Chains A and B, each alone.
Chain A
Amino acid sequence: MTGLLGAALPAVPLVAGLLGLLLPPAPRHPGGAAGGDRARTAAVTIGVAGAAGALALAVALLVTVDGPTQTSTTWVDIGGLRVTLGVRLDGAAALVAVAVAAVALAVQVYSIGYLRRGPHDDVDVDHRYPPYAAQISLFTGAMLLVVVSGDLIMLLVGWEVMGLCSYLLIAHDRRLAGAPAAAMKAFLVTRVGDVGFLLGIAVLGVSTGSFRIADVLAHDHSGATLTAAGLLLLAGVAGKSAQFPLHTWLPDAMAGPTPISALIHAATMVAAGVYAVTRLYPLFTAAPVTLTVLGVLGAITLLLGALAATAQDDIKRVLAWSTVSQLGYMTGALAVGSPSAALFHLLTHAAFKALLFLAAGAVIHAVGTTLMSEMGGLRRSMPVTFWCTVIGLGALAGVPPLAGFWSKDGVLTVAESAALEGTGPAPSWVGWLVWLAGLLGVAITAWYAGRLLLRAFFGEPRLPLVTPHDPPAVLRWPVLLLAVPAALLGLAGFVGAFADRLRFATVPVAGAEDGLVHVGPALLLPLALLAVGAGLVWVRWQRDRAADPATALGPLRPVFARAFRLDDVQHTLVVRPVRALARLARSGDEVVVDGAVEGSGRAASGLGAGLAALHRAALPRAAAGVLAGALLIGLAAAVLGVTR
C-alpha cells in the first residue's frame, strides 16, 4: 500500500505534465482567442489537478508511513549491475514530498493569475501557458521521483529531468534578453556538477554491484571508494543546490517567471542536492573528508550569499542570494552531522522562501518592475502583501517564533556542539567554521532582510505614477496560505511525531538526540546578532529615508553587488578557456577534418576534371597521343624482341 502510494506520487504529476505537453502551446492565430482560452483552461485544470493529486498522495503517505519501507523490482541487470525500479520511503521523504507538492500546488495556482495578460503586457503577448504548466508538472514529478526513488539510477533520471525543466522554465519569458543566456548558464553549470554526480553514482554502483540505495548503503565500501564517490556526488550536489563554486547560475535564473523562481528555490532543484546528501548520509559520515569539504563549501556559500544579498537592487536577486545563503546553512548542518537539522531547515526554508517569492511576484505584478529603487511606500497600498512579506522575511532572518528561527537555531546548536565538543563526524574546526559563519550569517541576514522591507514597503513611493494594489484572489490565496507554515512550521519541531519523522534511524545523529529544537541560553546569541543586524539597518535608514542602506557598505558595495566578481572569475577561468578550446576544436574540425574530407573530394574531382580534359583533347592531341602510344608499344616490343 505504502509502496504503491510512493510509486504513484511522482507518476501523477509526470502524467499530468506529459498530458499538458500534448495541448496546443499557443493560439494558432491572434483572432483565435477562444481556442487559446480553451487550451489554457485545460492546461490550468491538468496542472492544478496534477499538483493537488500529488499533494493528496503525499499527505496520505505522510500519514501512513511509519519507519523506512522500500519496494523494488529489478528493471535491468547489466553484467552484474542491477538497476531496480522502486521506492524507498521514510518519514523524511514523505515530509519533503508534502513540501514539494504543496509549493507546486501554490505555484500552479499562482501562475494562473501571474501569467495572464495584464495591464503591463502588450496586446499580442503570448504566455504559452500550456507548455509552461506542463513543465511545472514535469518539474514537480521529477523532484518527487528524486524524493521517493529507491534506486540511484531512478534518482539520476529525476535529477536530470529537473535540469531540463529548469532550463525550459528559466527561458520561458522570451521577451527578456537575459533569459536564454541565464537558462543556458543554469543548464551548463548544473551539468558540470551532474557529471560528477553521474560518476559518483557509477563508482558506488560498480562497487556495490547494484544501484539500489538500500544495497549501496548496506555494502561495505573501501575508504578510498567512499571518499571518491562522496566527493563526486558533492560536485553534483553543489551544482544543483547552488553551493560555491557552482552557485553562479542561481541569481541569473531570476530571469525566469517569479513563480518558477519560487519553485526552483523553495521546493525543487536546490532542495534536491541537500536531500540527496541526506538520502546517502551514512556514506558521507563514513568518509569524513567529504563532510569537511562540504562544511567548508557550505560556510563559504553561506557568507558569500549573505554578503551578496546586501547590495542587490533587484528584489528577486536579493531573495536569490538569500537562498544561496540558506543553502549554506543546510549543507553546514549536514557537514556537522545533523541531516535532521538540515531537512528541518529545508522544510521551513521551502515554506518561507516560496512565500517570499510569491509575495515579491505580487509586488512586481503591481509595480511592474523588479528594482527596489523604484518601489517604496508599498506598505499602505498593499497591506496583505506587506504582512506576508514581513512574516517571510522574519522567518528568513530568524525572528522568533517564526519558522526560520527554530530551524536555523537547530543548525547553529548542532554546529556549536560540533565546534565545542567535537561531536560531528568532521573535525571540530569544521564545526567552528560552520558555527561562526552561521552566527555571522544571522546578523547579515537580518540586515539585508530589513533593508528589503524598508526599501520596498516603507518610505515614500518613488514611482508616483503607478497605483499599486493588493493582488487578485488567485494570487493572494497562495501567498496567504503559505504564510501559515512560514510562521508556524518551526513550532512543529516541538511536536514529537514531526521530529520523529525527521530523525534518521539509520544515521547515528550526534548532538541532536533530544529533538529538533532547543530552548536554552544558546538562543540568546543569535537573537542578539539578529538585533544587531536589524538595528544597524534601521539606524542607517532612519538617518536618510530616501537613500539605500547599502550605501553604508562603502567601497565594498559594488563588490558585493557583483558577488565578489565570481562571475568574472568564472568567465576568465572557465568560460574563456572553454570558448577558446571550442574555437580550436571547431577550427580543427573545419580545417583539418573537413579539410581532409573536402580536400580529398576536391582533389578527386580536380583529378577527374584533369583526366576528363585530357580525354576530350582536341583531334591533334588525341592523334599525337595515339601515335606516340603506338610508337612506345612498338619500341617496347622491339626492345623485348631484341633482348629475347
Chain B
Amino acid sequence: MRPVIPYVTAALLFGLGVYGVLRRRNAVLVLMAVELMLNAVNLILVTADTTVRAVLPHSGQVFALFVIVLAAAEIGVGLAIVLQLYRLRATVAVDDVALTEPPVPARPVGQSAEAAR
C-alpha cells in the first residue's frame, strides 16, 4: 500500500475545502466546504494510522471518530445559526452579514421575529 495516494487525496480535498469556504457566498455551501476540509483531515488521520506506529494502536482511527462527532455537533449548531440568520434577514449570503451594525435592541428583534413567524 502506498500511503502517498490517500495523503495526496486528502491534501487536494483540503485545498478544495478552503477554496469552497472562500469562494462560496451561500452559507449552506460554506458549511459543505467545511465538511470537505474535515473529511480531508479524517482521511489523513486514518492514513496516518497505517503509516505511523503509535504506542496506542488505532489512535488515528479513534481520532477520526472523534472528529466525526465534532463535525456532527458543528453542523448542527452551524445550521441552526444559518436558519436563524435566514429568519432574521431573509438571506443566507455571508457577504450580507454586516459586522459593523450596532446590536439591535431587544424589542425590535422580538417584533421582527414575530413578523418572520
A617 to B21, CA, bound (A): 16
A627 to B18, CA, bound (A): 8
CB distance from A616 to the nearest CB of B (A): 5
**Is A519 at the interface (CB under 8 A from chain B)?**
no
Contacts of A620 in B (CB 8 A): 22, 25, 94-95
The answer to whether A618 and B97 have CB atoms under 8 Å apart is yes
CB distance from B12 to the nearest CB of A (A): 15
**Is A623 at the interface (CB under 8 A from chain B)?**
yes
**Is B73 at the interface (CB under 8 A from chain A)?**
no
CB distance from A76 to the nearest CB of B (A): 64
A108 to B88, CA, bound (A): 86
Q: Of B21, B22, B99, which one neighbours A616 at CB under 8 angstroms?
A: B99
Contacts of B97 in A (CB 8 A): 618-619
How many residues of chain A are within 8 Å of chain B by beta carbon?
Answer: 8
Contacts of B25 in A (CB 8 A): 620
**Is B106 at the interface (CB under 8 A from chain A)?**
no
A618 to B98, CA, bound (A): 6
Decide yes or no: A624 and B22 within 8 Å by CB, A616-B99, A616-B100 being known contacts: yes
Decide yes or no: A627 and B22 within 8 Å by CB, A619-B94, A620-B94 being known contacts: yes
Contacts of B95 in A (CB 8 A): 618-620
CB distance from B108 to the nearest CB of A (A): 22
A624 to B25, CA, bound (A): 13
Nearest residue (CB) in B for A624 is B22
A618 to B25, CA, bound (A): 12
A623 to B34, CA, bound (A): 12
Digit string of B1-25 for contact with A (CB within 8 Å is 1, else 0)?
0000000000000000010011001
The answer to whether A618 and B21 have CB atoms under 8 Å apart is no
Q: Which of A616, A617, A618, A624 has the most CB of B within 10 A?
A: A618
| Residues of B in contact with A, size category | 10 to 19
The answer to whether A618 and B99 have CB atoms under 8 Å apart is yes
Nearest residue (CB) in A for B17 is A627
Contacts of A619 in B (CB 8 A): 94-95, 97, 99
CB distance from A630 to the nearest CB of B (A): 9
A618 to B93, CA, bound (A): 11
Contacts of A616 in B (CB 8 A): 99-100
CB distance from B36 to the nearest CB of A (A): 13
A618 to B22, CA, bound (A): 12
A617 to B25, CA, bound (A): 15
The answer to whether A623 and B99 have CB atoms under 8 Å apart is no
Nearest residue (CB) in A for B18 is A627
CB distance from A193 to the nearest CB of B (A): 65
A627 to B30, CA, bound (A): 14
Nearest residue (CB) in A for B101 is A616
Digit string of A594-633 for contact with B (CB within 8 Å is 1, else 0)?
0000000000000000000000111110011001000000
A618 to B100, CA, bound (A): 9
Digit string of B21-47 for contact with A (CB within 8 Å is 1, else 0)?
110010000000000000000000000
CB distance from B74 to the nearest CB of A (A): 15
Nearest residue (CB) in A for B100 is A616
Contacts of B94 in A (CB 8 A): 618-620
A619 to B95, CA, bound (A): 7
The answer to whether B21 and A623 have CB atoms under 8 Å apart is yes
Q: Which of A617, A618, A619, A624 has the most CB of B within 10 A?
A: A619
A623 to B27, CA, bound (A): 13
A616 to B97, CA, bound (A): 11
Contacts of A617 in B (CB 8 A): 99
A623 to B25, CA, bound (A): 12
Nearest residue (CB) in A for B19 is A627
Contacts of A624 in B (CB 8 A): 22
A400 to B103, CA, bound (A): 99
A532 to B22, CA, bound (A): 110
CB distance from B101 to the nearest CB of A (A): 10
A617 to B99, CA, bound (A): 7
The answer to whether A627 and B21 have CB atoms under 8 Å apart is yes
Digit string of B99-114 for contact with A (CB within 8 Å is 1, else 0)?
1100000000000000
Q: Which of A616, A617, A620, A627 has the most CB of B within 10 A?
A: A620
Digit string of B59-100 for contact with A (CB within 8 Å is 1, else 0)?
000000000000000000000000000000000001101111
Contacts of B22 in A (CB 8 A): 620, 623-624, 627
A619 to B25, CA, bound (A): 10
A620 to B23, CA, bound (A): 8
Contacts of B18 in A (CB 8 A): 627
A617 to B100, CA, bound (A): 9
CB distance from B76 to the nearest CB of A (A): 20
CB distance from A623 to the nearest CB of B (A): 6
Contacts of B21 in A (CB 8 A): 623, 627
A76 to B95, CA, bound (A): 77
A616 to B100, CA, bound (A): 6
A101 to B97, CA, bound (A): 87
Contacts of B98 in A (CB 8 A): 618
Contacts of A618 in B (CB 8 A): 94-95, 97-99
A618 to B97, CA, bound (A): 7
A616 to B18, CA, bound (A): 21
A617 to B95, CA, bound (A): 10
CB distance from A526 to the nearest CB of B (A): 93
A619 to B22, CA, bound (A): 10
Nearest residue (CB) in B for A615 is B99
CB distance from B100 to the nearest CB of A (A): 5
A618 to B95, CA, bound (A): 6
A114 to B95, CA, bound (A): 84
Between-chain CB contacts (< 8 Å), 22 pairs:
A616-B99, A616-B100, A617-B99, A618-B94, A618-B95, A618-B97, A618-B98, A618-B99, A619-B94, A619-B95, A619-B97, A619-B99, A620-B22, A620-B25, A620-B94, A620-B95, A623-B21, A623-B22, A624-B22, A627-B18, A627-B21, A627-B22
Q: Which 6 A-B pairs have the closest CB atoms?
A: A619-B94, A616-B99, A616-B100, A624-B22, A627-B18, A619-B97
Given contacts A620-B25, A620-B94, A627-B21, 12 further A-B contacts (CB under 8 A): A616-B99, A616-B100, A617-B99, A618-B95, A618-B99, A619-B94, A619-B95, A619-B99, A620-B22, A623-B21, A623-B22, A624-B22
Chain B positions near chain A (C-beta within 8 angstroms) = 18, 21-22, 25, 94-95, 97-100
